[in-house]
């Protein structure tokens, strides 16, 4: 039986009971809170936790219009249905124009259950769609922040994402400068305080940083922490402010609304995830700046800087995986408890949320792998590349026994290098050749060598698959840059980055020749 929490504005106990019975007969386990006055209604709204609001056209001293207006301000995502004994067509049309779900006569209560069920399913689908969009944006932003190398880059990324992530009317990026708050950037429907400095003790961003706490204010004019004179010229009525870095915060991200808004836990969680990722990125920028300076001044300090980078990788793993675990857990709970209530489209949206979260988890893993890759020390030994290539191709064939692929591996190809890393390199190149030739009727994969006049060897992996436009060849070795969509050829976008870094660690180089529809050849050297 489906649970349904209702807030019901009704002064007739018999009618309230009758409406609950109608819903119960439709299979709902109804938990109803019936209120008769405006004060009771506002108190219940403040407490929240309702799936649906039902309201009479009017109770003593309190109109349905007022109830609907309060609901729009306090909980706009909760469906609102009028159920009244006195149905006036003009009033009903007015309610529907302002956003009410429906207007039902108490003489036609049979309409209530199907309308409520359809509305709640549609609302759940829309929320999942919004959440899915936010998660996809967050994954993209995390990737962009991981690659940012200056505060200006971080500022530009946060400016766009902070407002778009939850659809707020404004957003600010605040940095701490000693005892002052510096509003470094903003994105708002009207100008706020970009470029201005405020004392940290009177600024709400400063309060957030000093107390290392999130600030959630539904009414800025009813909170003593707000400097009213600074907010009166602005559009702001409600806000959320979260710290950038929980220990010794270095800034804050604020979101603002022009109307009264009660931020949901999901909205606050998303903004905090952005702030945590921004913290990691800012630490990353600081570390890289320090590294450049130290390399110029004292090469001997490189080992210490690498230790800081190692600590940074652990920060990524912790700070990004913590919100990710919540996303995955709640998505799984939704699938277990409410999957049967959703229409096909709703289930698709939920699956997309799970897929996006899993993709983000994979991206975290590959980011950490790329970092650790550069830290590994080479263990030099003689490596039989021919034998290694034959073994890799055998595994690929065993995994797809129905594919007919012609393979050729030159004999006696050996080098001196790290066998573990060289296997990773060769697996990536041959797996790519296998994948990108999957749609070629007579696929062929070749691993061979050519010799230079000076006696040096140039190894190559060649396929006759999809290939690509050489105009975009410079993107191939960049992390998360891909030339084909996941629908066409799935992948993480870091395989060739790993290949390049392994080859560079062996003091070699790698380059490409390719054309669309005619395959690709990857050449590399090992010294």
Domain ranges of the chain: 2-100, 380-524
Q: Is 199 exposed, middle or buried (0-12, 13-18, 19+ CB in 10 A)?
A: exposed
The Cα–Cα gap between 113 and 402 comes to 53
State the Cα angle at 221 between 215 and 225, rounded to 5°: 45
- pLDDT at position 48, please? 76
Whether the CB-CB separation of 340 and 124 falls below 8 Å is answered with no
- CATH for 380-524 (3.40.50.300, 3.30.565.10, 3.40.50.150, 3.40.640.10): 3.30.565.10
- pLDDT at position 447, please? 96
The Cα–Cα gap between 490 and 132 comes to 20
User: What is the SS3 assignment for 219?
Assistant: coil
Whether the CB-CB separation of 80 and 35 falls below 8 Å is answered with no
The Cα–Cα gap between 198 and 181 comes to 5
Q: Give the residue ranges of the chain where pLDDT is below 70.
A: 1-2, 87, 123-132, 134, 294-321, 359, 361-376, 479-494
Whether the CB-CB separation of 309 and 292 falls below 8 Å is answered with no
Q: Inter-axis angle of helices 495-505 and 344-373, to 10 degrees?
A: 0
The Cα–Cα gap between 406 and 463 comes to 10
Q: Which residues contact 144 (CB under 8 A, 6 or more apart)?
A: 157
The Cα–Cα gap between 432 and 438 comes to 10
- pLDDT at position 489, please? 64
The Cα–Cα gap between 305 and 290 comes to 8
Structure tokens at 180: 């002052």
The Cα–Cα gap between 158 and 280 comes to 13
Task: Output the pTM of the full model.
Answer: 0.42
Q: Which fold has domain 2-100?
A: Rossmann fold (3.40.50)
- pLDDT at position 209, please? 94
- pLDDT at position 429, please? 92
The Cα–Cα gap between 499 and 306 comes to 21
The CB-side HSE value for 184 (13 A sphere, CA atoms) comes to: 18
State the Cα angle at 440 between 436 and 442, rounded to 5°: 125
């Amino acid at each position: 039986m489906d649970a349904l929490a209702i807030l019901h504005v009704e002064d007739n106990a018999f009618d309230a009971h009758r409406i609950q019975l109608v819903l119960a007969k439709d299979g709902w386990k109804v938990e109803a809170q019936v209120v008769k006055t405006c004060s009771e209604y506002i108190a219940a709204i403040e407490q929240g936790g309702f799936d649906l609001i039902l309201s009479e056209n009017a109770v003593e001293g309190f109109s349905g219009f007022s109830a609907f207006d309060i609901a729009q301000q306090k909980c706009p995502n909760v469906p609102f249905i009028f159920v009244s004994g006195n149905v006036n067509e003009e009033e009903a049309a007015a309610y529907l124009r302002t956003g009410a779900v429906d207007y039902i006569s108490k003489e036609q209560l049979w309409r209530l259950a199907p309308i409520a069920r359809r509305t709640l399913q549609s609302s759940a689908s829309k929320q999942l769609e919004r959440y899915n969009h936010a998660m996809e944006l967050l994954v993209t932003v995390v990737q962009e922040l991981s690659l940012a190398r200056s505060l200006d880059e971080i500022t530009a990324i946060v400016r766009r994402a902070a407002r778009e992530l939850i659809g707020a009317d404004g957003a600010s990026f605040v940095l701490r400068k000693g005892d002052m708050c510096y509003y470094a950037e903003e994105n708002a429907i009207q100008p706020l305080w970009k470029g201005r400095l405020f004392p940290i003790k009177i600024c709400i961003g400063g309060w957030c940083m000093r107390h290392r706490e999130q600030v959630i204010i539904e009414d800025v004019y009813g909170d003593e922490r707000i400097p009213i004179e600074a907010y009166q010229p602005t559009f702001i009525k409600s806000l959320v402010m979260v710290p950038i870095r929980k220990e010794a915060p270095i800034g804050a991200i604020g979101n603002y609304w022009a109307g009264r808004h009660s931020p949901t836990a999901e909205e606050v969680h998303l903004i905090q995830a952005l702030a945590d990722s921004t913290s990691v990125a800012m630490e990353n920028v600081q570390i890289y700046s320090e590294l450049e300076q130290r390399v110029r001044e004292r090469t001997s300090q490189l080992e210490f800087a690498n230790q800081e980078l190692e600590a940074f990788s652990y920060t990524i793993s912790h700070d990004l995986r913590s919100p990710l675990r919540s996303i995955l857990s709640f998505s799984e709970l939704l699938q277990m408890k409410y999957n049967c209530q959703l229409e096909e489209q709703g289930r698709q949206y939920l699956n997309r949320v799970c897929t996006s979260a899993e993709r983000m988890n994979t991206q975290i893993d590959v980011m950490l792998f790329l970092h650790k890759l550069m830290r590994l020390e080479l263990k030099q030994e003689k490596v039989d590349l021919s034998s290694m290539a034959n073994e890799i191709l055998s595994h690929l064939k065993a995994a797809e026994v129905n594919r007919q692929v012609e393979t050729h591996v030159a004999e006696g190809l050996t080098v001196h290098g790290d066998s573990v890393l060289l296997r990773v390199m060769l697996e990536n190149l041959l797996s790519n050749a296998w994948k990108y030739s999957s749609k070629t009727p007579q696929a062929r994969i070749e691993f061979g060598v050519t010799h230079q006049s000076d006696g040096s060897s140039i190894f190559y992996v060649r396929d006759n698959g999809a290939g690509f436009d050489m105009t975009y060849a410079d993107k191939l070795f960049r992390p998360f840059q891909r030339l084909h969509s996941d629908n066409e050829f799935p992948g993480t976008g870091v395989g060739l980055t790993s290949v390049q870094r392994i080859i560079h660690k062996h003091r070699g180089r790698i380059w490409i020749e390719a054309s669309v529809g005619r395959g690709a050849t990857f050449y590399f050297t090992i010294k």
